[in-house]
């Protein structure tokens, strides 16, 4: 008899204990979420666990959306795709106790013994709420913002930074040709991690982030000095949480009289094929989430710490602000002199 792809693993590795694990993606999508889903599914199946996909994140749980069994083939051909095959929603109503209760009851009624939640800060808060309602849950940090404490990297950040650097490279060509100042507004919500990393990698003259105060007249003096020394263009990266790119551009034009242009990269930063670094991180974190659930652990987020994967208690990281790498901010200023 011909054995279907994966069936032999199910037979050989069937284990007692963890039997039915659900996985969902939540909040803003991030490149690499699919690679994480793939890892959860395949590592789970490898250990004889049945994996179910919840569509549309917490909304799917509140509404009791059918749990879709995911097989080896369900996650074929997705490691290189941005977005999320499970679909995602922002679900502010999940902060309501009644909805958390409804979701927990649904998972219990469906016999789910473990849940993997892939998403950003809001999604991990939801994970903690479910854990407090008796669900065994492990979180995986996935957000382009990289603003989650306890982990040096979240899935999607590397891809977004590379997308921005690619945009900066293109803008440099036209900026130099016209000897213009380009203001580039990037995402990051209330944080400047993306702006800083892209600014350092892209050689921006100035990076404006919400974590650090800035004085526009001083920035303009630096811009003028650079132009006087023969610089043909300048790139100013503005994190959306620090200011509006359009406003900064107007003010620079007013103070310096230099010609400015604005590019708001917007959701371009969230799409695209994940980089190898994000695929590797997502694969490792997805597999580790299953490993933690198999060990009976719950209420944890898989984190990257000193280059190693660790589990950190969700309750310890969710109200904590992530430390901003000020040394990189100083370095960016020095190198763009
Ligand atoms: O959290 C990721 C993020 O892309 C932020 O950088 C941005 O502020 C926000 O999501 C945009 O959210 P939405 O896609 O819901 O408009």
| DSSP string covering 245-270 | HHHHHHHHHHHH---EEEEE-GGGGG
The pLDDT tens digits of the residues spanning 227-274 come to 999 999 999 999 999 999 999 999 999 999 999 999 999 999 999 999
144 Cβ below 6 A of ligand 1? yes
Q: Both 42 and 135 in a single domain? A: yes
The rounded mean pLDDT for the chain is 95
Residues with catalytic roles: 145
Name which residue sits closest to atom 10 of ligand 1, judged by CA.
28
| Start-to-end C-alpha separation, the chain | 70
Most informative mutation of 188, 189, 193 for ligand 1 (most atoms within 8 A of CB): 189
Distance 28 CA to ligand 1 centre (A): 6
Q: Whose CA is nearest to atom 7 of ligand 1?
A: 189
Residue 15 has pLDDT above 70, yes or no: no
Q: Do 19 and 132 have their domain in common?
A: yes
Please tell me whether residues 231 and 168 are part of one structural domain: yes
What confidence score (pLDDT) does residue 238 get?
A: 98
Taking the centre of ligand 1 as the mean of its atom positions, its distance from the CA of residue 132, in whole angstroms, is 27
- Angle between helical axes of 245-256 and 216-228 (0-180°, round to 10): 60
Average pLDDT over residues 28-33: 98
**Across 98-123, average pLDDT:** 98
Claim to verify: residue 17 and residue 134 sit in the same structural domain = yes
Three-state secondary structure call for residue 116: strand
With a 6 A CB cut-off, is 19 part of the ligand 1 pocket?
A: no
Are 65 and 93 contained in the same domain? yes
53 touches ligand 1 (CB under 6 Å):
no
Please report whether residue 288 resides in a domain.
yes
Helices (H), 179-275: 193-202, 216-228, 245-256
179 in a structural domain: yes
* 134-167 per-position pLDDT tens digit: 999 999 999 999 999 999 999 999 999 999 999 9
Listed residue (198, 129, 191) closest to 165, CA to CA: 198
Please determine, for residue 40, whether its predicted confidence score (pLDDT) is greater than 50: yes
User: Where residue 171 sits, what CATH number does that domain have?
Assistant: 3.40.50.460
Residue 337 domain-assigned (yes or no):
no
Tell me if 281 is assigned to some domain: yes
CATH code for the domain of 25 = 3.40.50.450
- The CB of 171 under 6 Å from ligand 1? The reply is no
What does the block give as tokens for 254? 């007013």
Atom of ligand 1 nearest to the CA of 194: 6
User: pLDDT higher for 12 or 23?
Assistant: 23
Co-location of 41 and 78 in the same domain: yes
Residues 138, 170: one domain?
no
How sure is the predictor about 2, in pLDDT bands with cuts at 50, 70 and 90? very low
The percentage of residues in the chain with a pLDDT greater than 90, rounded to a whole number, is: 94
Residue 124 forms part of a structural domain:
yes
Instruction: Say which residues have a Cβ less than 8 Å from residue 327's Cβ, sequence separation at least 6.
Output: none
Name the nearest CA neighbour of 151 among 326, 328, 308, 319.
308
| 88 belongs to a structural domain | yes
Residue 189 Cα to ligand 1 midpoint, Å, equals 6
The answer for residues whose C-beta is within 8 angstroms of residue 285's C-beta and 6 or more apart is 36, 39, 140, 141, 155, 302, 304, 309
Q: What's the structural domain count of the chain?
A: 2
The whole-angstrom separation of Cα 190 and Cα 211 is: 9
- Give per-residue pLDDT as tens, 269-310: 999 999 999 999 999 999 999 999 999 999 999 999 999 999
* Domain containing residue 194: 158-271
| pLDDT score of 17 | 85
Same domain, 286 and 233: no
> Rounded to the nearest 10 degrees, what angle do helices 276-294 and 33-46 cross at?
40
Q: Which residue has the higher pLDDT, 10 or 93?
A: 93
Q: What percent of the chain has pLDDT over 70?
A: 95
Q: Are residues 246 and 307 in the same domain?
A: no
Taking the CA of residue 188 as reference, the ligand 1 atom at the shortest distance is: 6
Q: Is 115 within the bounds of a domain?
A: yes
Q: What pLDDT score was predicted for residue 4?
A: 45
Residue 16: band (very low, low, confident or very high) from pLDDT cuts 50, 70, 90: low
Site to substitute for ligand 1 among 164, 187, 268, most atoms within 8 A of C-beta? 187
- 14 and 135 belong to one structural domain: yes
Whether 217 and 230 share a structural domain? yes
Rg, Å, the chain Cα set: 22
On whether residue 325 sits in a domain, the answer given is: no
Q: Is the pLDDT of residue 14 over 60?
A: no
- Indicate whether 45 and 137 sit together in one domain: yes
Q: Whose CA is nearest to atom 13 of ligand 1?
A: 28
Q: Does pLDDT of 1 surpass 60?
A: no
Nearest to 55 by CA among 38, 70, 40, 36: 70
């Amino acid at each position: 008899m011909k054995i279907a792809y994966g069936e032999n693993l199910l037979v050989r590795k069937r284990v007692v204990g963890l039997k039915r694990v659900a996985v969902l993606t939540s909040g803003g999508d991030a490149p690499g979420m699919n690679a994480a889903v793939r890892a959860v599914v395949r590592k789970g199946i490898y250990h004889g666990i049945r994996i179910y996909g919840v569509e549309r994140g917490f909304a799917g749980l509140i509404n009791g959306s059918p749990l879709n069994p995911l097989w080896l083939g369900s996650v074929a051909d997705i490691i290189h795709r941005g977005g999320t095959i499970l679909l995602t929603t922002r679900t502010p109503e999940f902060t309501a106790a009644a909805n958390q209760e409804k979701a927990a009851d649904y998972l219990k009624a469906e016999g789910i013994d473990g849940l993997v939640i892939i998403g950003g800060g809001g999604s991990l808060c939801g994970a903690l709420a479910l854990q407090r309602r008796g669900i065994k849950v492990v979180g995986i940090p996935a957000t382009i913002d990289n603003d989650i404490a306890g982990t040096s990297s979240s899935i999607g950040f590397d891809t977004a930074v590379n997308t921005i650097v690619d945009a900066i490279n293109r803008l440099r060509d036209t900026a130099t040709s016209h000897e213009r100042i380009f203001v580039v507004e990037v995402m990051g919500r209330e944080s400047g991690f993306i702006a800083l990393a892209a600014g350092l990698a892209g050689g921006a003259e100035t990076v404006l982030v919400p974590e650090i105060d800035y004085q526009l007249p001083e920035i303009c003096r630096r811009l003028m000095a650079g132009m006087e020394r023969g610089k043909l263009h300048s790139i100013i990266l503005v994190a959306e949480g620090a200011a509006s790119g359009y406003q900064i551009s107007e003010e620079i034009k007013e103070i310096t009289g230099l010609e400015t242009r604005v590019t708001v990269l917007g959701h371009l930063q969230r799409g695209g094929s994940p980089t190898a670094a994000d695929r590797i991180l997502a694969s490792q974190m997805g597999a580790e989430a299953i490993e933690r659930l198999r060990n009976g652990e719950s209420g944890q987020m898989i984190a990257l710490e000193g280059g190693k994967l660790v589990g950190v208690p969700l309750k310890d990281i969710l109200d904590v602000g992530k430390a901003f790498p000020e040394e990189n901010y100083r370095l960016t200023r020095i190198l763009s002199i």
